Structure 1
């Protein structure tokens, strides 16, 4: 991973549900997770890295982004809440 602004901390269980454990990941991967999954889904089914990687949309995104350079930033991985506005 490229250190710096391209990294985010992702709460495996959302903070709104008392989650404290975090993992470091690329910003675009973090944005994609929140664009695809609700906080309830994260809490109930996708609170482990392997479960996230197993989600079909996330797995397809990982296959696609794996071919990009580490510093790649994609403006299309927007948060689903912003799309609804």
Structure 2
């Protein structure tokens, strides 16, 4: 296990309550489905994170590039204004808290 993952897991044990709520889909996040999302990607100098459902986190990165995340969609409210993210959130809100499905990159950002 890597140093960063180990530190994140220690942080989960010490600080995080058992009933975290995903700021995107507003469902409870089971401990096995928690992902820390840098609102501004680390590669673009970001430091602040929000805990999201793993499926929500993966969908954000499947739809948006790191540059778009850093410039336009660097807050939860801004993410919710993106039409594809809003459509996904409306869909995933109807699923159980521990729901997980494969996420595919958008054709718009897929390497050619």
TM-score between the two structures when normalised by the length of structure 2? 0.68
* CA RMSD after TM alignment: 1.5
Question: 1:30: how far off?
Answer: 0.3
Question: 1:79: how far off?
Answer: 4.5
Question: 1:51: how far off?
Answer: 0.5
Distance in 2 separating the partners of 1:33 and 1:2: 16
Q: How many residues align?
A: 82
1:78 pairs with 2:109:
no
Distance in 2 separating the partners of 1:18 and 1:44: 12
1:65 pairs with 2:85:
no
Higher relative contact order (CA 8 A, sep 6+): 1
Aligned residue runs from structure 1 range 1-85, under 5 A: 1-75=28-102, 77-79=103-105, 84=111
Distance in 2 separating the partners of 1:10 and 1:79: 17
Question: What residue ranges of structure 2 are gaps of 5+ in the alignment?
Answer: 1-27
Distance in 2 separating the partners of 1:71 and 1:53: 21
- After TM superposition, the runs of 4+ consecutive aligned structure 1 residues lying more than 2 A away are none
Which string of whole-angstrom CA distances, capped at 9 and with x for unpartnered residues, describes residues 12-43 of structure 1?
00000110000000000000000000000000
Tell me which structure has the larger Cα radius of gyration. 2
TM-score between the two structures when normalised by the length of structure 1? 0.88
